[in-house]
Structure 1
Amino acid sequence: MRIGVPKEIKVHEYRVGMTPAAVREAVHHGHRVMVQKDAGLGIGLFDSDYETAGAEIAATPDEIFERADMIVKVKEPQHAEWKMLREGQILFTYLHLAPDPEQARGLMESGCVAIAYETVTDQRGGLPLLAPMSEVAGRMSIQAGAHCLEIAQGGRGMLLGGVPGVAASRVVVLGGGVAGTNAARMAMGLEAHVTVIDINLHRLYELDMQFGPMLNTIYSTVDAIEEYVLGADLVIGAVLVPGAAAPKLVTEEMVKKMKKGSVLVDIAIDQGGCFATSHPTTHADPTYVTDEVVHYCVANMPGAVARTSTFALNNATLPFTLSLADKGYRQALADNQHLKAGLNVYEGKLTYRAVAEALGAPFHEADSLLGA
């Protein structure tokens, strides 16, 4: 199979779909890999590294999209890239379609086979291709939040851990999944007072057993969210409903009542955000202030640490990339129900129920379409 790796074009996105090591594995499996010129330059992966691994360097994205049977990316395709996709071409990347009807229409019109990293599952019910970036985003959320709490950034002028004789900051994490757990770990490491709020009692039990008295765990209700958010200096939004738009757990009224200079970091912004006042930002202009509350809503947070993120992501995606290339998408999806869960768009139809419901569009069972 001919695999194409274009250079990411989203603002301040330096990650790349395949590392030289991943390319070498694909070539070892008998596949041809085309990598766009300078695709990995921003993170120190040079064209010469890719050529040594067996890749062909393509000068333009047009060449990649025109010749490749499968496109391997990191971020959702941008408008210019939708136009280059073609019928039957495999697109393997993050999509986050639920809050993005325009992209969904573009992919449907292209006739491509779009498989989303974020909805591929595993035997434990996890999301193995989302997890690495959730780990990064969770850890980064505390770095970003701590920075936003500084006076110069519009924050309250607080140090997360305080100092002897001065109270530490209060950090509230909404969601105890991969991102939320990593956020809590980082915040506790900086000696903040940390509370995790989640609707899953079993997960709260696991967190309590893992961290003990260092962490406060609270069952999620409207009352609990309001009480703890209003008392917080930093709130991390880390809720996730796989494939679906994130629930708005913090209302505009709550934001208006928060302390002046407090900070909201919305990790869920890729899925529409879990704060009512959230809207996507970029690394070029990451924050804005609403009702005297600082909002950090960068839609590709892990892109700020692109080298770490690229290697972490490739570790997770490579087995699936090879399976799709070795078997073709029909056989690969038939053989692996967890990979099939990643299929979001097939020949102009939406095949992931939560996405279809979020967009108000017809849902089609993947099995019936693939069988046909």
Structure 2
Amino acid sequence: MSSFSPFSKEELIPQPEKLEVKKQKGELFIGLPKETYLGEKRVCLTPDAVSALSNHGHKILIETGAGKESSYTDKQYADAGAKIAYDAKTTFQCDIVLKVAPPTKEEIKYLKPNTILISSLQLKTQDKAYFESLAKKKITAIAFDYIKDEHDSFPIVKSLSEIAGTASVLIAAELMSTTTTGNGLLLGNIVGVPSTNVVIFGAGTVAEYAAKTAIGLGSRIKVFDNSITKLRSLQRNLQAPIYTSTLQPKSVAKALMRADIAIGAIRGKSRTPICATEVMIENMKDGAVIIDVSIDRGGCFETSTLTTHTQPTFVKHGVIHYCVPNIPARYARTASLSISNILSPYLLNIAEEGGFENAALYDKSLRNGMYFYHGVLTNKTVADWFDLPFRDINLLIL
């Protein structure tokens, strides 16, 4: 009776050892178009980042004036090793295209097939046709606001949230100090003068940096959030005694009556929940300031209405409302530095791994940010939102 062996005779013979082939470094060709979205002043790479990439042998093509709103000149980019393009179409023909705002449908037409697009996604501003046009060109698209690092954190979102939180207090201080619409109050702890009162809705990164800035200026802080865990974490991170509470209507109403500044920094799974009703806002002080950082998801004040960087405020019930989405764009240079510092190591790593395909294979954070892979939709949230077919990126790339 013969015994069955799962191996062939050839497989039982000693085989020569197979050594790992050394990865060949890839050369990147990166395009930086000028931002066209209203109010968008940021740029994805600073001249210093361009210099670092150029020194590694990579080519960068930047549209003239792309860094102007962030106070970077064409000469600075040229000196750093970039080539200047004098029309947008040329930059969209590069192998990798970097943008802060997602490209418009017109700009997608400029992309060549199989381009790697790295930008924000801004899901709520898109429609089904936008994703269909990316699919037709077999684009590989990475949303940098979806990139999650090894610490389970969204580095670019976190960094921009830090800017938004700090900025919210600085903007409020500026608005409050005017005597035309504000109270002429200084946001500071002056001897013999009562401290200003700041109410913050939310206990995430935006709230933390808003609270840090307000405390540094001597304000009294009250933070409301329905997550006790987040409130506890916030209090631990601030290392300062602050008032914290869940969102109890009576407590919120009382705090807003005394508030000089109210900041909305709370998030919801879809629309931001309303934390302050119109009646509560009617009872606020004349000249008080509302900064609704959550306005991009509907806002957490019932009286909030979307405003722009060019016309940022309106007054309702005697209260100044600042409801501009994308606050970091107001501080374009700081925000550009932040984005550039996070994106440039990813780009260098893509080259070190021998190209995007290899980098995506080994770098889970890149796969987390990817929502298209060669024209195949790989993000379930987008698929569910727009009723589009979806494939798991791990099944496509591994």
Q: TM-score, normalised by structure 1?
A: 0.85
Aligned to 2:141: 114
Distance 1:229 1:88 in 2: 53
Distance 1:113 1:132 in 2: 25
Compute the displacement of 1:126 (Å): 1.7
Asked if 1:76 is matched to 2:102, the reply is yes
1:95 to 1:152, Cα distance in 2 relative to 1, 3 A:
farther
1:172 to 1:334, Cα distance in 2 relative to 1, 3 A:
farther
Question: For structure 2, which runs of at least 5 residues remain unmatched after alignment?
Answer: 1-27
1:107 to 1:277, Cα distance in 2 relative to 1, 3 A:
farther
Superimposed CA distance per residue, residues 286-321 of structure 1 (whole angstroms, 9 cap, x where no aligned partner): 112234332212223222222222112211121223
Q: 1:8 aligns with which of 10, 13, 35?
A: 35
Output the amino acid matched with 1:281: T
CA contact (8 A) 1:108 1:347 kept: no
Aligned to 1:36: 63
Compute the displacement of 1:60 (Å): 1.0
Q: 1:123 aligns with which of 124, 146, 150?
A: 150
Compute the displacement of 1:36 (Å): 0.8
CA contact (8 A) 1:281 1:296 kept: yes
Aligned to 1:315: 341
Distance 2:258 2:387 in 1: 40
Output the amino acid matched with 2:181: G
Aligned to 2:13: none
How many residue pairs match? The answer is 367
Secondary structure of the equivalent of 2:53? helix
Compute the displacement of 1:33 (Å): 1.2
Output the amino acid matched with 2:312: P
Compute the displacement of 1:347 (Å): 5.9
CA contact (8 A) 1:73 1:93 kept: yes
Compute the displacement of 1:63 (Å): 1.0
Secondary structure of the equivalent of 2:233? helix
Output the amino acid matched with 1:116: A
CA contact (8 A) 1:8 1:16 kept: yes
1:222 to 1:60, Cα distance in 2 relative to 1, 3 A:
farther
1:162 to 1:30, Cα distance in 2 relative to 1, 3 A:
closer
Aligned to 2:115: 89
Please show how residues 289-368 of structure 1 align to structure 2 within 5 Å: 289-324=315-350, 327-346=354-373, 351-356=378-383, 359=385, 361-362=387-388, 364-367=390-393
1:367 to 1:222, Cα distance in 2 relative to 1, 3 A:
farther
Larger Rg: 2
Compute the displacement of 1:365 (Å): 4.3
Aligned to 1:285: 311
CA contact (8 A) 2:204 2:234 kept: no
CA contact (8 A) 2:208 2:238 kept: no
Secondary structure of the equivalent of 1:299? coil
Compute the displacement of 1:241 (Å): 5.4
Compute the displacement of 1:137 (Å): 1.3
Compute the displacement of 1:253 (Å): 4.8
Asked if 1:132 is matched to 2:159, the reply is yes
Compute the displacement of 1:140 (Å): 0.8
Compute the displacement of 1:142 (Å): 0.5
1:325 to 1:8, Cα distance in 2 relative to 1, 3 A:
farther
Q: 2:262 aligns with which of 232, 235, 246?
A: 235
Question: For structure 1, which runs of at least 5 residues remain unmatched after alignment?
Answer: none
Larger mean CA deviation between 246-255 and 170-179 belongs to 246-255
Please show how residues 203-222 of structure 1 align to structure 2 within 5 Å: 203-220=230-247
Compute the displacement of 1:273 (Å): 3.4
CA contact (8 A) 2:134 2:375 kept: yes
CA contact (8 A) 2:50 2:80 kept: yes
Compute the displacement of 1:18 (Å): 0.8
Distance 2:210 2:239 in 1: 16
CA contact (8 A) 2:47 2:76 kept: yes
